[in-house]
Amino acid sequence: MVDLLQAAGLARSTFYYQCRAAQRADAQSILETRIRTVYDEHKGRYGYRRITAVLRRSTQEPINHKCVQRLMQKMGLRALIRVKKRSRHVPGTSDAHVPNILQRDFSATAANQKWATDVTEFNVSGHKLYLSACMDLYNGEIVAYRMARRPVFEMVSTMLEAALSQTSCAVDLIVHSDQGRHYKMQPYRSMLARRGARQSMSRKGNCFDNAAIESFFGTLKAEYFHLERPDSIGALEAGVHDYVHYYNHERIKLGLLGLSPVEYRLRSTAYTAAS
Protein backbone atom coordinates (compact mmCIF):
# COMPACT_ATOMS: atom_id res chain seq x y z
CA MET A 1 0.00 0.00 0.00
CA VAL A 2 2.85 2.38 0.91
CA ASP A 3 4.59 1.69 -2.42
CA LEU A 4 1.35 2.39 -4.31
CA LEU A 5 0.83 5.66 -2.47
CA GLN A 6 4.41 6.74 -3.16
CA ALA A 7 4.07 5.79 -6.81
CA ALA A 8 0.88 7.86 -7.05
CA GLY A 9 2.46 10.76 -5.25
CA LEU A 10 -0.14 10.72 -2.46
CA ALA A 11 0.44 11.19 1.22
CA ARG A 12 -1.10 8.52 3.46
CA SER A 13 -3.22 11.14 5.27
CA THR A 14 -4.60 12.36 1.94
CA PHE A 15 -5.55 8.82 0.89
CA TYR A 16 -7.44 8.06 4.10
CA TYR A 17 -9.09 11.48 4.06
CA GLN A 18 -10.47 10.75 0.59
CA CYS A 19 -11.70 7.32 1.74
CA ARG A 20 -13.58 8.84 4.66
CA ALA A 21 -15.01 11.55 2.40
CA ALA A 22 -16.33 8.89 0.01
CA GLN A 23 -17.94 7.02 2.91
CA ARG A 24 -19.60 10.23 4.13
CA ALA A 25 -20.90 10.94 0.64
CA ASP A 26 -22.42 7.44 0.41
CA ALA A 27 -24.07 7.81 3.82
CA GLN A 28 -25.43 11.22 2.85
CA SER A 29 -26.85 9.85 -0.40
CA ILE A 30 -28.65 7.08 1.52
CA LEU A 31 -30.05 9.59 4.02
CA GLU A 32 -31.24 11.87 1.22
CA THR A 33 -33.12 8.93 -0.33
CA ARG A 34 -34.79 8.12 3.00
CA ILE A 35 -35.74 11.78 3.54
CA ARG A 36 -37.27 11.95 0.07
CA THR A 37 -39.24 8.74 0.73
CA VAL A 38 -40.77 10.09 3.96
CA TYR A 39 -41.42 13.50 2.38
CA ASP A 40 -43.23 11.95 -0.62
CA GLU A 41 -45.15 9.47 1.54
CA HIS A 42 -46.72 12.34 3.47
CA LYS A 43 -47.19 14.48 0.33
CA GLY A 44 -44.90 17.26 1.48
CA ARG A 45 -46.77 17.82 4.75
CA TYR A 46 -43.80 17.03 7.01
CA GLY A 47 -41.01 19.48 7.80
CA TYR A 48 -37.52 18.53 8.95
CA ARG A 49 -38.58 17.99 12.58
CA ARG A 50 -41.27 15.42 11.78
CA ILE A 51 -39.10 13.73 9.16
CA THR A 52 -36.30 13.45 11.72
CA ALA A 53 -38.75 11.88 14.19
CA VAL A 54 -39.88 9.31 11.60
CA LEU A 55 -36.29 8.42 10.67
CA ARG A 56 -35.32 8.00 14.30
CA ARG A 57 -38.23 5.61 14.84
CA SER A 58 -37.17 3.45 11.89
CA THR A 59 -33.46 3.13 12.72
CA GLN A 60 -31.20 2.68 15.71
CA GLU A 61 -28.69 5.20 14.40
CA PRO A 62 -28.73 8.75 15.81
CA ILE A 63 -29.95 11.33 13.31
CA ASN A 64 -29.43 15.03 13.90
CA HIS A 65 -32.34 17.29 12.98
CA LYS A 66 -29.92 19.96 11.73
CA CYS A 67 -28.47 17.47 9.26
CA VAL A 68 -31.96 16.61 7.99
CA GLN A 69 -32.77 20.32 7.69
CA ARG A 70 -29.57 20.99 5.74
CA LEU A 71 -30.17 18.10 3.34
CA MET A 72 -33.79 19.13 2.78
CA GLN A 73 -32.64 22.64 1.91
CA LYS A 74 -30.09 21.17 -0.47
CA MET A 75 -32.80 19.06 -2.16
CA GLY A 76 -35.25 21.96 -2.25
CA LEU A 77 -37.74 20.26 0.04
CA ARG A 78 -39.84 22.12 2.57
CA ALA A 79 -43.09 21.56 4.37
CA LEU A 80 -46.24 23.19 3.09
CA ILE A 81 -46.65 26.57 4.72
CA ARG A 82 -50.07 28.14 4.72
CA VAL A 83 -50.34 31.87 4.25
CA LYS A 84 -50.56 33.60 7.58
CA LYS A 85 -53.48 35.97 7.73
CA ARG A 86 -53.62 39.06 9.86
CA SER A 87 -56.36 38.83 12.46
CA ARG A 88 -58.02 41.75 14.13
CA HIS A 89 -59.06 41.32 17.72
CA VAL A 90 -62.57 42.57 18.35
CA PRO A 91 -63.02 43.41 22.03
CA GLY A 92 -66.00 41.70 23.62
CA THR A 93 -67.22 39.90 26.66
CA SER A 94 -68.34 36.33 27.25
CA ASP A 95 -71.91 35.40 26.47
CA ALA A 96 -74.07 36.34 29.43
CA HIS A 97 -75.58 32.87 29.62
CA VAL A 98 -72.55 30.79 28.57
CA PRO A 99 -69.23 31.91 30.10
CA ASN A 100 -65.80 31.28 28.62
CA ILE A 101 -64.86 28.44 30.96
CA LEU A 102 -61.93 27.28 28.85
CA GLN A 103 -60.09 30.64 28.99
CA ARG A 104 -57.64 29.52 26.28
CA ASP A 105 -56.37 26.66 28.44
CA PHE A 106 -56.08 24.11 25.66
CA SER A 107 -54.31 21.48 27.78
CA ALA A 108 -55.90 18.37 29.30
CA THR A 109 -54.54 15.55 31.43
CA ALA A 110 -56.86 12.85 30.08
CA ALA A 111 -59.21 12.15 27.21
CA ASN A 112 -62.75 13.58 27.27
CA GLN A 113 -61.97 16.42 29.67
CA LYS A 114 -62.06 19.27 27.13
CA TRP A 115 -63.44 19.37 23.62
CA ALA A 116 -63.37 22.20 21.09
CA THR A 117 -65.82 22.40 18.20
CA ASP A 118 -66.50 24.68 15.25
CA VAL A 119 -67.73 24.79 11.64
CA THR A 120 -65.66 25.69 8.60
CA GLU A 121 -66.58 26.33 4.97
CA PHE A 122 -65.12 25.06 1.68
CA ASN A 123 -65.84 26.42 -1.78
CA VAL A 124 -65.36 24.37 -4.95
CA SER A 125 -66.30 26.13 -8.20
CA GLY A 126 -69.01 28.12 -6.47
CA HIS A 127 -70.42 25.13 -4.58
CA LYS A 128 -70.04 25.11 -0.82
CA LEU A 129 -69.43 22.35 1.70
CA TYR A 130 -69.54 22.81 5.47
CA LEU A 131 -67.61 20.73 8.00
CA SER A 132 -68.54 20.50 11.67
CA ALA A 133 -65.81 18.89 13.79
CA CYS A 134 -65.08 18.21 17.44
CA MET A 135 -61.52 17.89 18.79
CA ASP A 136 -60.35 16.35 22.07
CA LEU A 137 -57.81 18.79 23.46
CA TYR A 138 -55.98 15.98 25.27
CA ASN A 139 -54.37 14.66 22.10
CA GLY A 140 -55.81 16.76 19.27
CA GLU A 141 -57.86 13.84 17.99
CA ILE A 142 -60.97 14.58 15.92
CA VAL A 143 -63.54 12.57 17.86
CA ALA A 144 -66.44 13.24 15.47
CA TYR A 145 -67.26 15.25 12.35
CA ARG A 146 -70.10 15.74 9.89
CA MET A 147 -70.38 17.46 6.50
CA ALA A 148 -73.33 19.10 4.74
CA ARG A 149 -74.01 21.27 1.69
CA ARG A 150 -75.71 23.87 3.91
CA PRO A 151 -74.82 25.00 7.45
CA VAL A 152 -77.90 23.41 8.99
CA PHE A 153 -78.33 22.65 12.68
CA GLU A 154 -78.72 18.93 11.97
CA MET A 155 -75.08 18.79 10.86
CA VAL A 156 -73.93 20.17 14.22
CA SER A 157 -76.37 18.18 16.34
CA THR A 158 -75.56 14.83 14.72
CA MET A 159 -71.86 15.56 15.07
CA LEU A 160 -72.28 16.28 18.79
CA GLU A 161 -74.42 13.17 19.23
CA ALA A 162 -71.73 11.05 17.56
CA ALA A 163 -69.04 12.58 19.78
CA LEU A 164 -70.99 12.09 23.00
CA SER A 165 -71.77 8.48 22.08
CA GLN A 166 -68.05 7.69 22.26
CA THR A 167 -67.73 8.46 25.96
CA SER A 168 -69.55 6.60 28.70
CA CYS A 169 -69.30 9.52 31.13
CA ALA A 170 -69.48 13.15 30.06
CA VAL A 171 -69.88 14.60 33.55
CA ASP A 172 -67.67 17.67 33.91
CA LEU A 173 -66.67 17.48 30.24
CA ILE A 174 -66.17 21.00 28.87
CA VAL A 175 -67.35 21.52 25.28
CA HIS A 176 -66.05 24.83 23.92
CA SER A 177 -67.21 26.69 20.81
CA ASP A 178 -67.49 30.19 19.42
CA GLN A 179 -70.76 32.12 19.59
CA GLY A 180 -72.19 30.68 16.40
CA ARG A 181 -75.95 30.45 16.21
CA HIS A 182 -75.91 26.64 16.28
CA TYR A 183 -74.30 26.59 19.71
CA LYS A 184 -76.84 29.04 21.15
CA MET A 185 -79.83 26.92 20.16
CA GLN A 186 -81.70 25.27 22.99
CA PRO A 187 -81.60 21.72 21.52
CA TYR A 188 -77.80 21.90 21.39
CA ARG A 189 -77.55 23.11 24.97
CA SER A 190 -80.02 20.48 26.10
CA MET A 191 -77.93 17.71 24.56
CA LEU A 192 -74.96 18.81 26.64
CA ALA A 193 -76.99 19.29 29.80
CA ARG A 194 -78.53 15.81 29.60
CA ARG A 195 -75.06 14.28 29.62
CA GLY A 196 -73.75 16.55 32.37
CA ALA A 197 -71.31 18.35 30.06
CA ARG A 198 -70.53 22.02 30.60
CA GLN A 199 -70.79 24.45 27.71
CA SER A 200 -68.12 27.09 27.17
CA MET A 201 -68.08 29.88 24.58
CA SER A 202 -65.44 32.20 23.19
CA ARG A 203 -65.71 35.91 23.71
CA LYS A 204 -67.53 37.66 20.90
CA GLY A 205 -65.41 38.14 17.80
CA ASN A 206 -62.31 36.53 19.32
CA CYS A 207 -61.11 33.59 17.20
CA PHE A 208 -58.09 33.05 19.45
CA ASP A 209 -60.36 31.72 22.20
CA ASN A 210 -61.00 28.69 19.98
CA ALA A 211 -57.54 28.51 18.43
CA ALA A 212 -57.08 24.74 18.73
CA ILE A 213 -59.88 23.73 16.38
CA GLU A 214 -59.20 26.74 14.14
CA SER A 215 -55.62 25.49 13.81
CA PHE A 216 -56.88 22.06 12.74
CA PHE A 217 -59.06 23.62 10.03
CA GLY A 218 -56.06 25.62 8.83
CA THR A 219 -53.92 22.49 8.70
CA LEU A 220 -56.64 20.55 6.87
CA LYS A 221 -56.93 23.23 4.21
CA ALA A 222 -53.16 23.67 3.84
CA GLU A 223 -52.28 19.98 3.74
CA TYR A 224 -55.27 18.72 1.75
CA PHE A 225 -57.67 21.27 0.24
CA HIS A 226 -55.14 23.74 -1.22
CA LEU A 227 -52.73 20.93 -2.09
CA GLU A 228 -55.07 18.49 -3.82
CA ARG A 229 -57.52 21.08 -5.19
CA PRO A 230 -60.56 18.74 -5.50
CA ASP A 231 -62.70 19.59 -8.51
CA SER A 232 -66.09 18.57 -7.12
CA ILE A 233 -67.97 18.46 -3.83
CA GLY A 234 -68.03 14.67 -3.99
CA ALA A 235 -64.25 14.51 -4.36
CA LEU A 236 -63.90 17.03 -1.52
CA GLU A 237 -66.06 14.96 0.84
CA ALA A 238 -64.04 11.81 0.09
CA GLY A 239 -60.81 13.71 0.55
CA VAL A 240 -61.87 15.13 3.91
CA HIS A 241 -62.76 11.62 5.11
CA ASP A 242 -59.34 10.36 4.06
CA TYR A 243 -57.50 13.30 5.61
CA VAL A 244 -59.24 13.08 8.99
CA HIS A 245 -58.32 9.40 9.19
CA TYR A 246 -54.73 10.28 8.23
CA TYR A 247 -54.66 13.11 10.77
CA ASN A 248 -55.93 10.89 13.61
CA HIS A 249 -54.04 7.68 12.86
CA GLU A 250 -50.88 8.52 10.91
CA ARG A 251 -49.85 12.18 11.15
CA ILE A 252 -47.41 12.45 14.03
CA LYS A 253 -47.31 15.36 16.46
CA LEU A 254 -44.03 16.35 18.03
CA GLY A 255 -45.91 17.44 21.15
CA LEU A 256 -47.25 13.88 21.49
CA LEU A 257 -43.81 12.24 21.68
CA GLY A 258 -43.74 11.78 17.93
CA LEU A 259 -46.97 9.77 17.91
CA SER A 260 -50.24 10.28 16.10
CA PRO A 261 -53.26 11.32 18.23
CA VAL A 262 -54.72 7.80 18.26
CA GLU A 263 -51.34 6.19 19.01
CA TYR A 264 -50.87 8.59 21.91
CA ARG A 265 -54.34 7.88 23.34
CA LEU A 266 -53.90 4.12 23.06
CA ARG A 267 -50.49 4.26 24.72
CA SER A 268 -51.90 6.37 27.54
CA THR A 269 -54.84 3.99 27.97
CA ALA A 270 -52.53 0.96 28.10
CA TYR A 271 -50.25 2.68 30.63
CA THR A 272 -53.20 3.59 32.85
CA ALA A 273 -54.58 0.04 32.69
CA ALA A 274 -51.20 -1.41 33.65
CA SER A 275 -50.77 0.94 36.61
HEC string for 49-70: HHHHHHHHHHCCCCCCHHHHHH
Other Cβ atoms less than 10 A from the Cβ of 202: the count is 27
Where does 114-274 sit in CATH, by number?
3.30.420.10
pTM comes to: 0.80
d(CA 222, CA 227): 7
For 210-223, how does the pLDDT look when each residue is reduced to its tens digit (9 = 90+)?
Answer: 999 999 999 999 99
Kindly tell me if the per-residue pLDDT of 49 is higher than 50.
yes
For 230-249, how does the pLDDT look when each residue is reduced to its tens digit (9 = 90+)?
Answer: 999 999 999 999 999 999 99
For 131-154, how does the pLDDT look when each residue is reduced to its tens digit (9 = 90+)?
Answer: 999 999 999 999 999 999 999 999
Q: What is the mean pLDDT of the chain?
A: 88
d(CA 56, CA 4): 42
d(CA 168, CA 97): 27
d(CA 92, CA 37): 48
For 92-118, how does the pLDDT look when each residue is reduced to its tens digit (9 = 90+)?
Answer: 333 447 999 999 999 999 999 999 999
Q: Where in the chain is the domain with CATH 3.30.420.10?
A: 114-274
